[in-house]
Structure formats: C-alpha cells, structure tokens
Amino acid sequence: MAEHQNSEKITWQNAPFLLCEHCLGSGKVNGKTCENCQGIGAGVYYQGYLFHWSKVYNSTLGKLHKFNVFIYRLLNFVLLASFLAAVAWLGWYIYNVYLFEYNFWFLLDWHWWVQANIHLLAFYAAGLLLCFFAYRVMMYGESKSNLQILSQNLSGETKSQAHFALAQGFSELLKNKVPLLDVYKYAAPGLLTSLERAWDLTISIKGQEVTPLHLLGGLLDEGEVRVLLMRLGIGPADFGNKLVKALLLQQRGTEQSTMNLELTWNINLRKILIYAGLDAWDSNFRQVSELNALYSVGSIEYSINQYNLVKDLLEEFKINSNILRNIIEWGKLKQRLRDNLSLFRELARLKPTGNMNRAMTATFTPLLNNLSQDYTRSASYGYFLPCLNRDKEVNEILQSIESTQQSVLLVGHNGIGKTSIIEGIAQLMVMEKVPPQIEDKRLLVLDLPTLLSAVPPQNLPQVLQQLIQEIASSRNIVLVLENLEMLANNQGGSFSLLEVILQALESRAFYCIATTTPQAYVEFLENSKVPQVMTVLQVQELDIDSNIQIIEGQSGYLENKHQVFFTYDAIAKAVKLSDEYIYDQYLPAKAIKVLESSALAVKQQRGGGAVVLGEDVAKEIAEKTGIPVTQLTQDEAEKLLNLEKEIHRRVVGQEEAVEMVSSSLRRARAELRDTNRPIANFLFVGPTGVGKTELAKAVSEVYFGNEEAMLRFDMSEYQDKASIARLIGQNKEGGLLTEAVRRKPFALLLFDELEKAHPDILNLFLQILDDGRLTDGLGRTIDFSNAIIIATSNAGAKYVQSAIAENRPMEEIKEHLLKVELQNYYRPEFLNRFDGIITFKPLTPDNILAITRLLLVKVQKRLSAKQIIVDFSEDFVRELAVQGFDPLFGARPLKRVIQNKVEDSLANYLLSAKIKARDKVIFEAGGQIRVEEARRL
C-alpha cells in the first residue's frame, strides 16, 4: 500500500513508501517468500526505479563481508607479489648472464632467447598477472560507481515521467517489470560498519529489534559524523550518554508489545536505509554513505506508530530540520568534491591552457593576454571554489547563449555572487559541459580598470577595436566584462566605449558575459542598446540557508587561511546576524567578512587552531554595529530585571511610563519582539517640565550606556513641507535623520514636540513605526528596527493639568486625551502605530523636592572632580524646591534656580580663591554659604 499520495511534485523526501500488505515488510509469509512483493517487503518508487534494501545486515554478515574484503585484498596482494617475483626472477637471470658475458649484446641473439624459454615463461606470467590485477581493480572501481552512473544515465524524460507515476503497490510495479535497485549493493563500507555496530548495540542492551535509534548510535563512531558533531559544538560523549538514555526509554516502551524470539530489523530502519539511498541518488554520489543515513534518520517520518525518539534526541541538542539539512550538506559537499575531483582533474588535463584550442584554429592575442585573466586556465589548475546554489543562474546563462545566440548581462549587487557564477561557468567550460557555441573556448576576464587607466583617453577607441579584432580573429574566446558601466562612463571621442563593444556583440563577433549593479544599470545601461543586444539576467540575493551552504563550501579555504576551526553556529550566526544588522552590504560577501574578522580576533586571543564559536561572531557583529547581539551575561540580565530602579535614579515619579519602557526593553533583549518593527514606539504626552525628555535621556544612559546614544530632533524646526528633504535627504545628500540612523542603527530617537511637525512628516513616521524601514532621498532603505522611538507632545497639556486639579481619575483623563485632545493633532492610524501612549502627570511638591535632590547630586559630582566637597542643608534644599516649582512649567524653573543660587555662587568662590581643593562648602538656609577649609601645611 502507498503510505501517502498527493499531486505535488515528488522529491525523494516525499516519494511514496510502499509496504507490502501481505508480509508487512518482512518479505516472508509463513516462512516462505511473499508472492505479492517477491520478497522485497518494502520499497520506494522513484524516477523509474523501485528502491529497496535486500539484506538484514547483522554481525555475521558483517564478519562475512570483512572476510570477503580480506580475501579480495589478499588475492590482490598475491597477484602483485607474484608479478614482482616474476619480474625479479627474470631480472636476476639477465643480471647473472650479464656477469658471465660482461655485456648485453647477448640479448640480440635469438638462440639465447630460445634457451631462456623457462625464464620467459616467468615474464609472460608476470604480464598476465599484472593485467589480471589491473582488471580486478578496474572492475572493483566500476562496481562502486554504479549508483552515480545509473543516476547520470537516466534521461530527463524518464525522470520527469517518474515524478508523476505514483505506484499503487508492489503487484502493479512488478507486473510492469519496473527495474529494481538494491540500495544494499551500493552501501559504503562506513555505513555497513555502522549497521554492524547498531546490531551489536541492540544485543548489548538486550533489545529485540534494531531501530533507527540504534543506527544513530552506530553512526557515532564514524569520522565524518564525529566531525559534524564537533561542528555543532556537541561532544560525542555527551551525545552518546543522551542516546543511551533514549535507547533505554525506547526499549521500555516496546518490550511489552514485542515478543520476537530472535533479533530482527524494525521496519522503520529499513525505510531509513531506502531513503538514504534516494538521498545518495539525488546527491549524485557513488555510494550510499553514513551522511545519507544520518540525514535520513533525522528527517524521515516513521512508518508505524512508534514514538520518534530520534527527533527528541536531536531537539535536546537544539538541532532542528534546517540545521540538520545544512550541517549534512556541509559533509556532503566535501564528499562530492572528493568524488568529482578525479573526474575534474582528468577532464582538465584535456583542456588547453594556452592560446591555441584543440581544433588548432585560434590565433595569437598578445594585447588581450596582457590585459586579461584566463579563467579557464585558473579553473583547470583548481584555483576556484565550487559555485554553490547558483544552478538556476548558470543554466539561464548557458540556455541564453544556446537558444538566443546572445551575450548575457548579470545585474546584481556587489558581493551577491556574480563572480562566483562566472567561475562556475569556467569550471563547466573546462569539463566541456557547455553548449556547442562555447565549447573548446577560453573564458577571459578583461581588466577594465587597467585598460582605462593605462591607455590615454584619445587612444581608447583604437585599443578597444584592436582587442575586439583579436577576439574575433581567435574565435576561441568568451569575454567577461565586469562592471560594464565603466565603459559607458568613459568617452572615446564623440561616443562612449560601450557603443564600440555593443556594435561587436550585435554582429555576433564573439560571446560576452558582463556584470553590473542595479543602480548602474538604471543610470547608465537601461536606456542604451544593452537590453536589445544582451540578455539581461537579474541575480537575486539567496535565502539564509543557501548562503549558509555557500559559506560552508568556502570554510576549508578560510580555515586553512586563518588556521582556525569554524563551528556551524559561527557560520549560521555570521549569515543571520549580518543579514539582520549590516544593511549596506550583501550576502554572502558580508558574512564572509564577518567570519574572517572573527577568525583573526579568535586567533589573536586563543592562538592558532582555535575554535570560532557563534558567540565570537556575535561579539564581532556587536562591535561593528553597536547592537547587543551576544548572549546575556549575568550582570546584564540583573540590570535588565532592575531597569525601573536604575531609571528612577534619574526620573522621579511617572511609574507607569517607567514600567512600560522597561518592559519593552526586556522583551527586546530577550528576543521576544517583532524584529520587523522598532524595539519600542512610545508617545509621551503631558504638560511641559514633567520628565518626558528626562525619561528618554535616562533610558539612553541605562540601556545604551550613555546619553550620546540618543539622537534628538526638535520637531519645531520641521514645520514646513520642504523640511522633509532635511530629514531624508535629496540630490545625492543624505538626510539628518536617515544618515544618523544608518551610521548608528542601535540608538534612541527622541522627537520633541511632535505636534509642531508638518503633517507630511508625520506620514513618514507611519512607515517607520509600522515596518521599521524608511527609503531615503537616495533610494536606500534605512532600517529602524534596532532603534527605540520616543516622541513627546504637549498636545492636551492644559486639559491634563485642569483634570488633575479637579481630581478626575487617570483612566478618564487618558480616555478623553486619546479620543478628543490628541485627535486635533494626529490621525487615528498614526496614534495606533505606537506601542503605548503614556500620559505624564503634573509634578507634585514632593516630586519637585526629590528632583531637587537629584539635581544637587549632579552639582556635587562636578565639584568632586576638583576635590571640593559640597553639602546642602535640608532647609536649603526645601527652599530651592519651593522657589523652583511652577504648576505650569513643572520642574523647568528649578534648573534656573539651582543655577542662580548654587552654581553661580560656587563659580564666584572658585574665581576669588575663597575655596580650594579639599575644602568643604556648606549651603545653609537663606542661601548662606559656610566654608570649612582643609588642613594645609
């Protein structure tokens, strides 16, 4: 029966698993071969083949397999030793004759050869033995590569048809004589050894059937699997201990329902191995490796109602499906490179590395050789890394050349992978896996900066024409022009150099692959003949997982370069954090830069051979951007839990406002917020002088480390429509707001007196508050998702003061303020964008007294730097509080009172030398000042 069927495109992961209804996967009924499935039991129909696993691989079979391998190697050794012995015997005989005859002229005497027939038999035997030995080695190698050959030889039409052929059962398939593929025959030695260990592990814990969990235990001792665990930062011993606990738990759950007298395979294990074969098939591997089995163990759903402890075990170590797929792809990449290396080297030897092609039709290109780099030569020498996850773009380029006979222009941002695509095409040209139009050709990259700087401008058209003539005459060159806009920017007399190139391409003189950026294409190329002469292909930024896999492919080069070891978490965080917090660059280039700088820092701190962890990459991102992305330390966690207390050291009262702000900051640091919006959006409303701006300063100091992290904008300066350009920029000049956030994305933005801003400016805030992004006047997207936005407003201040004086409830005041007073200044959709609209209460005399003490503490701190002690009597403090309180202006007059009564007096005393270092100044009631001079020698 088919386990699942649907109309979606079938991949190996969702190809239907077939389980025989008669034998339930065992292949036997009453001890006899099942007639329905012909002993197959279970399988998967995929791409025209019925994949199955034929044997229960146990310890006995493993020992027999090892014995066969031993006999095979022993026989090879005997053959090789016999050949060497025969050659040595013949050599010894010739040497003895030479000693007797003193020369080798006897070799020309045929009588001697007739007399030496016995020894010649040894020579003939040696030749036969050598041929037989070579034949055995060759046949062994071919038998091991059959899976790859089968996959490559299967036609695309067969694969396409097989995708839609959902089998109903074994009987229909076998009646139609569907070819069988026994995955067991293509199992790698490492996988067979793991199955043997899984069998022994089951016996050691007195289990009754071998399950995928036992196979996972058997895989742990394989070198590739252990390396992947190290990449994940998991110790094999820790993983093994958890695995044993899971095995014991699984055994307790199955021992009641299973009463088999002999050890056997669980049907889920057979299913896992079959799907491992499918994975190897799709990966174009020679054999089914332990990596294919590991991926299958962690990603395939079980067939029978048995709890999947494998997934629980993986989740215990925070390994989800994405992480498992990416880490397995890392291991597969290395295996694929090993499988393809010999093939690539063999084909590369056949590729000419000089000017001449194999057809001997090319001509000499001296000028072009001096101004270009031969990518096919570099590829044949193995200088390029593999081009990963860009098959779509590579195929589009080759199809365009084959079908339209046109050259191609790649349009994509810098660092996105355009050069890697061109390097991938060079590698395909070396292997001749390209359309006939560019077979047996060289891929040359013209060095445009050198050309434009070394040649006088008036001579550029003639030099470019000479280059084109050399390319056209040679007829074995595909030209690469990186940054094509450079030719459009340079004039060769009355026309641009781009026109010279386009004329040649229009006449099909040669093929060209060019690159440019989206901005340059729009500015210089879109309105030219380029879209008519060339096929324009957009190169988009890949998703996170694809970029992780690309960097995994380059990890070996980076590790050798910096002498470090990258964990998977380091690579994943380099991609994810750079994507989230570095906005003016593109993946994968920006992630590679972060990894390299992290590797340098780790090597300096911990020496060569050190392991680069995810936290090391997070520290590097934090240093580059100023955004805290590292794990919370205990001190930081303590500080966040006590934010209210920290803020109240500067802000008096306003408990509701302080609590709401503190809660939003804790959610942000715990990564529980919507990352597509700012950290927090607040609108502070209330009378002037009640602490709205002071709370913003306090948050900046406590959360960001200092008040300098606060970017303050007085919105009374942006009352006309033209002031929008000042905020977001225009005419190639950045705006005050957008440039400030672009340079310091992790900051607090304070917009004072928001009600005074022009209405069109408020429309800009709709996008910032909702999406966390804003497009500036230069077309750049500025990210506000790591900013805290606080806007203050005095709208409705008079109402709040009068309502408080009338002792109205705060809830009534807030409701009226939101539904009536604020509606006169802001639209409802604008107000709804804020996380909280916080009403600040007018200050009471007790609040003013507390604020007075806070302001006087600041005075004491400033004088302590001069080693002068300042003290204030309680009566004096109360006098200042009374004089500085104004019901209309809140605490604002208090600062002026302290400035006049305290700071001015201290300045006069300092200038007149009435107080010196180590003296104590005491302010008493009535403003009297008493100085206690320090003892001096």
Q: pLDDT (tens digit, 9 = 90+) per residue, 122-171? A: 666 666 766 766 665 555 554 444 565 565 555 444 444 444 344 456 67
Residue 480 confidence class, pLDDT cut points 50, 70, 90: very high
Q: Reply yes or no on whether the pLDDT at 419 is more than 90.
A: yes
> Which residue would you say has higher pLDDT here, 802 or 296?
296
Q: Give the integer Cα–Cα distance in Å for 551 and 593.
A: 11
> Which residue would you say has higher pLDDT here, 476 or 628?
476
Q: Residue 796 region, left (φ>0) first, then alpha (ψ -120 to 50), else beta?
A: left
Q: Reply yes or no on whether the pLDDT at 304 is more than 80.
A: no
Q: List, for residues 318-334, the tens digit of each pLDDT value.
A: 888 889 889 998 988 87
Predicted local confidence at residue 143, as pLDDT? 46
Predicted local confidence at residue 443, as pLDDT? 92
Q: Following CA atoms 781, 787, 788, 791 in sequence, which dihedral angle do they give, to the nearest 10 degrees? A: -40
| For range 333-350, the mean pLDDT | 64
Predicted local confidence at residue 112, as pLDDT? 54
> Which residue would you say has higher pLDDT here, 65 or 582?
582
Predicted local confidence at residue 852, as pLDDT? 85
Q: Reply yes or no on whether the pLDDT at 800 is more than 90.
A: no
pLDDT averaged over every residue in the chain: 80
DSSP state letter for 870? E
Residue 478 confidence class, pLDDT cut points 50, 70, 90: very high
Q: List, for residues 894-912, the tens digit of each pLDDT value.
A: 888 888 888 888 888 888 8
Q: Reply yes or no on whether the pLDDT at 516 is more than 90.
A: yes
φ/ψ of 477, rounded to 5, equals -130, 130
Q: Reply yes or no on whether the pLDDT at 108 is more than 50.
A: yes
| For range 104-132, the mean pLDDT | 60
Q: List, for residues 808-833, the tens digit of each pLDDT value.
A: 877 787 788 888 888 888 888 888 88
Q: Reply yes or no on whether the pLDDT at 254 is more than 70.
A: no
Q: List, for residues 562-595, the tens digit of each pLDDT value.
A: 999 999 999 999 999 998 888 778 999 999 999 9
Predicted local confidence at residue 306, as pLDDT? 55
pTM of the model: 0.76
Give percent of the chain with pLDDT exceeding 90.
Answer: 14
Q: Give the integer Cα–Cα distance in Å for 518 and 522.
A: 6
Residue 417 confidence class, pLDDT cut points 50, 70, 90: very high
For residues 214 and 207, the answer to whether their CB atoms sit within 8 Å is yes
Predicted local confidence at residue 140, as pLDDT? 55
Q: Reply yes or no on whether the pLDDT at 110 is more than 60.
A: no
Predicted local confidence at residue 593, as pLDDT? 93
Predicted local confidence at residue 412, as pLDDT? 93
Query: 91-95, 507-511, 840-844: which range is least confident on average?
Result: 91-95
Start-to-end CA distance of the chain, whole Å, equals 105
Predicted local confidence at residue 176, as pLDDT? 77
Q: Give the integer Cα–Cα distance in Å for 568 and 552.
A: 8
Decide: helix, strand or coil at residue 586: coil
**Chain centroid to CA 529:** 37
| For range 762-772, the mean pLDDT | 87
Q: Reply yes or no on whether the pLDDT at 344 is more than 80.
A: no
For residues 786 and 773, the answer to whether their CB atoms sit within 8 Å is no
> Which residue would you say has higher pLDDT here, 929 or 71?
929
Decide: helix, strand or coil at residue 831: helix
* Cβ neighbours of residue 792 closer than 8 Å, sequence gap 6 or more: 683, 684, 685, 692, 693, 696, 750, 751, 752, 753, 754
For residues 855 and 905, the answer to whether their CB atoms sit within 8 Å is no
Predicted local confidence at residue 771, as pLDDT? 85
Using CB atoms within 10 A of its CB, is residue 611 exposed (0-12), middle (13-18) or buried (19+)? Answer: middle
* Cβ neighbours of residue 711 closer than 8 Å, sequence gap 6 or more: 737, 740, 741, 744, 747, 748, 749, 750
Query: 55-69, 368-382, 694-708, 761-775: which range is least confident on average?
Result: 55-69
Predicted local confidence at residue 564, as pLDDT? 93
| For range 366-395, the mean pLDDT | 87
DSSP state letter for 822? G
Predicted local confidence at residue 633, as pLDDT? 60
Q: Reply yes or no on whether the pLDDT at 69 is more than 60.
A: yes
Predicted local confidence at residue 589, as pLDDT? 93
**Chain centroid to CA 226:** 22
Residue 357 confidence class, pLDDT cut points 50, 70, 90: very low
> Which residue would you say has higher pLDDT here, 87 or 746?
746
> Which residue would you say has higher pLDDT here, 89 or 177?
177
Predicted local confidence at residue 169, as pLDDT? 63
| For range 778-803, the mean pLDDT | 83
| For range 66-92, the mean pLDDT | 70
Predicted local confidence at residue 345, as pLDDT? 61
Predicted local confidence at residue 590, as pLDDT? 93
- Reported as type and span, the H/E element at residue 445 is strand 442-446
Predicted local confidence at residue 366, as pLDDT? 83
